[in-house]
Structure 1
Amino acid sequence: MRAIERTAKGVDERYRAATPLRGLLNKVFPDHWSFLLGEIALFSFIVLLLSGVFLTLFFDPSMREITYDGPYAALRGTSMSAAYESSLRLSFEVRGGLFIRQMHHWAALLFLAAIVVHMLRIFFTGAFRKPREANWVIGLLLFWLAFLAGFTGYSMIDDGLSGAGLRIAQAIVLSVPVAGSWLSAALFGGDFPGHLIVGRLYIVHVLLLPAALFALITVHVALVFVQKHTQWPGPGRTENNVVGERFVPRYALKQGGFFMAVFAVVSLTAGLFQINPVWLYGPYRASEVSAGSQPDWYVMFLDGAIRLMPSWQIYLGNYSIPPIFWPAVVLPGILTVAPMAYPWIEARRHRDRRRHNLLDRPRDNPARTGLGVMALSFFLICLISGGNDIIADKFHISLNAMTWAGRIGLLVVSPLAYYVTRRICLGLQQHDREVLAHGIETGIIRRLPDGGFVEVHQPLPPAEYAGWVVPKKMNRLGALAPAVKGFFVPVERKPERKPQPEKELTSR
């Protein structure tokens, strides 16, 4: 112990490491389940890195033609690319290869899902406001980088399903006015599919995108440490403090246990549920496209938007803009730029330049919550439309009717979702105000002298509505102990004058 003490003292004397390290270890984090959504994304990314290193050792990113002679009898003797053959070898010949493949795929789906849900939590609670605008932008960039990482990951296998998706990607590139054909030739090294695309996707997937994701995640976590962590309003919580647990030891131990839980869930899912059985799709042939081809969920909403877009071809002289350009190029651009600019738009609209460390409840900002639900309904309609052919086939519905239902839904359901959500938020606010004014329902019924019945209400401390959580049940009254000291905003009321007895009026 003395040797360790002397070593630590020597390091501190030379590099002054104790002061910044002490600040790091004493960092306080609030404790709430909604804050774990970001940790799920971080931990699933770690699982992706670990499983991806294993897969890299056995995958051959080459499009050279070989004849399959492996244990899967259905494809034996079939001509295929080396990339697809190595995927089959990983699945059937490498010990634990199929398990790691499925673990990598499930972790990728969880990574994208956790990012989306985490961003929704940030949006609905207003955690993107000053001074966290940069972290909001980084979160959006993380989603699109993860989107590209997932697309390049399942595209480089060169099976029948991923090849169809790669063909759609080439059509999207070709739809870019003027430069589309040049971009496609540069990307594929000539005509589709060429002999270079798998190798290029491999480099992008295993080197460039992971490096960019790692860098942005590092900056994102560093900003969380540098800036104060957001927290929910409550007793003793203000815009200038953080109420929670120190980073070391309890919070760090809890995060370590949570990582093990995420790792266990991904492992269990990979072992029990099959995903992306590439041996069933066969090798990709440019002349063959199988029916019922759908991408992963985070790409399917763009596929649905493409299916819903009317066939409007726009001609400008010798050039034309195909219909696919609007949902596949313009729409992602809008979905990137508009959310990035929203923190500044909202701040300018409300003329709000203050620092915000306390979160909003979604009901307390009806307009923002309505916009979020409207965007979510737009996404879900596009997501369902991405599989409208499967739905039409299984439920015996007209595919044309499904397409028109999606188009009408985008124009009707999304604005309606905004209106309904806004009215619900206003109604919830009004209910909170009524509880503050009249008290909590106790369930005790009292009979009046005139024979009527009323329910007894437990009065609350005099307060006005300020966005705090208002207790609605009697078993929540224990949280009211510090109410007067900050849970509610006290209201100064003038003392009421005692009522004077009414004089009896008699008539002669």
Structure 2
Amino acid sequence: MHRPWSSLRARVFPDHWSLLFGQIAFYSFVMIVLSGVFLTVYYEPSVDHVVYDGPYAPLNGVGMSRALDSTMAITFEIRGGLLIRQIHHWSTLIMVAAITLHLLRLFFTGGFRRPRRLNWLVVFGLLIVTLGAALTGTSLPDDMASGMSLAVLDGVLQATPLIGTALSALLFGGDFPGNVIAWFYPLHVVVLPAVLIGLFVAGAVLALKRQPAQPSGPGRTEDNVVGRPAAVAAVKSIGLFCFVAGVAILMAATATINPVWLYGPADPANASAGVGPAWYLAFLDGSLRLAPGWEFVLWGKTFTVAVLLPVAICTLFLALVAFYPWIEERLTGDRRNHHLLERPRHNPTRTGIGVAGMTFYGVLWAAAAADTMALLFHLSVNSLIHLFQILLILGPPAAFLITRRICLGLQASDAQIATHGIETGQVVRLPSGGYIETHRPVDPYRRWRLLGPSTQNRALTAPAPSEEEPAERKA
């Protein structure tokens, strides 16, 4: 039996590629911190007005804030500044993607079940805090793209009944655009990184406190761990950090991202065509685009459904994601501890729910680019919006039903292979005159994997078909 808090050197860690997303997220965070320290030295979090007089000629003589001026100086005047800026940005995108994939892996394999429900909350908290850190970070350059994002945020706050005006005034320090950098800078540099460090530490403590979860397979039970010793896992982890750092540096050196010099300074009176939110926040913008433009007056106040409905739906969606482990446990009544991960096909209902959620998110995400798609493919924006509205309603239920049927079909196919063996394509004639197709026996490992941990004993003890007495189908 596994003993909590056993010696780290004596621990065994499962070895599977899908378990690396959490490490990738942490190592991306390390790259973010290292590059962020460099940027903090040269960045000026000030909205004081200056006139640009730097090496980038198209903006010479243009008025801007000190925040954008210092960002331009980092980009064009500090040696290696552009590379560090882009390492910081690309590492953020890698971190968001890794946490998202880690969350999906936990969901589809059942890695959130007891005793790991708190681990799920930690990973979900990492995603939300990372999104907040990314939003505050992209707003600091005070360029046109970040200014548009802040204008949308101000509009959402202003449309919130009763408290919207006060929230906007508190965030922006008065009328928009105010001095939002004075709020966002300490959040981005101190508060949110400290929260992320705390969440990473909490996740590590929870992981070391109990037996690690592992993919199911022969020889793996709820009471043992099959994998690599801690020393070997540590060496592989160091190699993974070098790989993540190398990928981030390579992307930063070869692919331009967030070219603030092309956007120019933020201006509340102007907007840049084709500039949208970052991909990880696009679902929020898409929800605003798909909401109907309804309004109603109550108690002398105007309530805008076009803002309230998206905010309510997105909040409910995130809340369901956060508390799904408790919801599933309540519905299924399964309160056992699980240390073996499931294949998605072995739980069709959960897999269908997951794909339905991804479809819901994907429709909102795609709707954020409806104007760009209409321009590129010469389509009507209104027609695209109506199409996405229909998909938002019909897409998730259809995805659930289709995915569930696919999982059930895969289960039936796996059971057929495990029971009768693998078709060889060789047809022989029996002495009685009939024809049969011979089947190749399935090895115990594959039979175990096909039938799943719930049928472990049956998979390992059932007689396998042999060449002499194959379990054949009549042709």
Among 301, 304, 312, the residue aligned to 1:330: 312
Q: Is the 8 A contact 1:464 1:489 kept in 2?
A: no
Among 285, 296, 300, the residue aligned to 2:267: 285
Q: Is the 8 A contact 1:235 1:486 kept in 2?
A: no
Using the alignment, how far apart are the partners of 1:491 and 1:456 within structure 2? 19
Aligned to 1:182: 166
The DSSP-based 3-state class of the residue aligned with 1:255 is: helix
Q: Is the 8 A contact 2:160 2:308 kept in 1?
A: no
Q: Is the 8 A contact 1:370 1:421 kept in 2?
A: yes
Using the alignment, how far apart are the partners of 2:406 and 2:368 within structure 1? 30
The DSSP-based 3-state class of the residue aligned with 1:488 is: helix
Using the alignment, how far apart are the partners of 1:262 and 1:39 within structure 2? 10
Post-superposition shift, 1:451?
Answer: 6.4
Q: Is the 8 A contact 1:436 1:463 kept in 2?
A: no
* 2:49 partner amino acid: E
Per-residue Cα deviation, 1:460-484 (whole angstroms, up to 9, x for no partner): 589998xx4139xxxxxxxxxxxx9
The DSSP-based 3-state class of the residue aligned with 1:314 is: strand
Query: CA 1:52/1:444 → structure 2, altered by over 3 Å: closer, same or farther?
Result: same
Structure-to-structure mapping, 1:70-469, within 5 angstroms: 70-194=54-178, 196-248=179-231, 250-449=232-431, 453-460=435-442, 468-469=448-449
The DSSP-based 3-state class of the residue aligned with 2:215 is: coil
Post-superposition shift, 1:418?
Answer: 0.5
Post-superposition shift, 1:449?
Answer: 4.9
Aligned to 1:54: 38
Deviates more, 1:219-228 or 1:422-431: 219-228
Q: Is the 8 A contact 1:68 1:78 kept in 2?
A: yes
Post-superposition shift, 1:489?
Answer: 4.6
TM-score, reference length from structure 1: 0.86
**Corresponding residue pairs, total:** 459
Post-superposition shift, 1:441?
Answer: 1.6
Q: Is the 8 A contact 2:296 2:303 kept in 1?
A: yes
Q: Is the 8 A contact 2:345 2:411 kept in 1?
A: yes
Post-superposition shift, 1:122?
Answer: 0.3
The DSSP-based 3-state class of the residue aligned with 1:354 is: coil
Query: CA 1:275/1:463 → structure 2, altered by over 3 Å: closer, same or farther?
Result: closer
Post-superposition shift, 1:221?
Answer: 1.3
Post-superposition shift, 1:492?
Answer: 9.4
Aligned to 1:32: 16
Aligned to 1:488: 459
* 1:238 partner amino acid: T
- The structure with the larger Rg is 1
Q: Is the 8 A contact 1:175 1:324 kept in 2?
A: no
Q: Is the 8 A contact 2:142 2:265 kept in 1?
A: yes
Query: CA 1:144/1:22 → structure 2, altered by over 3 Å: closer, same or farther?
Result: closer
Percent identical: 44
Post-superposition shift, 1:92?
Answer: 0.4
Using the alignment, how far apart are the partners of 2:330 and 2:285 within structure 1? 35
Structure 2 alignment gaps of length 5 or more: 465-475
Per-residue Cα deviation, 1:336-357 (whole angstroms, up to 9, x for no partner): 2212221111112111111000
Query: CA 1:65/1:240 → structure 2, altered by over 3 Å: closer, same or farther?
Result: same
Post-superposition shift, 1:314?
Answer: 2.9
Q: Is the 8 A contact 1:464 1:488 kept in 2?
A: no
TM-score, reference length from structure 2: 0.92
Using the alignment, how far apart are the partners of 2:137 and 2:148 within structure 1? 14
Aligned to 1:496: none
Using the alignment, how far apart are the partners of 2:181 and 2:446 within structure 1? 63
